[in-house]
A = this chain, B = another copy of it.
């Protein structure tokens, strides 16, 4: 049994971020009710979680629909960012790659668009 899906995003770029947000949004109606969908960002991809980005509307739409946004604390630290620099509802995790592995150990599916 899979209880959720982690979507791995570690790339920069508005087009990439927009495409992955659309993937996450489109996935929601395809999974059984109650299945969690987490977008896990690390490295340059955590820029997606900062307010005022061109993808802000697409991110808000995905989150309102049920996508959860996770942000790597290691990446935040190395980029000098704190939680105050992120959009509300973004959830830091101690390590992006560690979180992706932990979720798979729990039986979650993995996507890397």
Which residues of A are in contact with B by a Cβ distance under 8 Å?
A: 1-2, 5, 8, 10, 19, 23, 26-27, 30-31, 42-43, 74, 94-95, 97-98, 100-102, 104-105, 109-113
Contacts and interface: CB of A to CB of B under 8 A. Distances in A.
Contact of A98 (B30, B94, B95): B30
Contacts of A98: 26-27, 30-31
Contacts of A10: 19, 23, 113
Q: How many monomers of this protein are in the complex?
A: 3
A104 B30 CA distance: 13
A107 to B, nearest CB: 9
B2 A104 contact: yes
Nearest to A43: B19
B105 A109 contact: yes
Contact of A97 (B26, B95, B97, B102): B26
Contacts of A27: 95, 97-98, 101
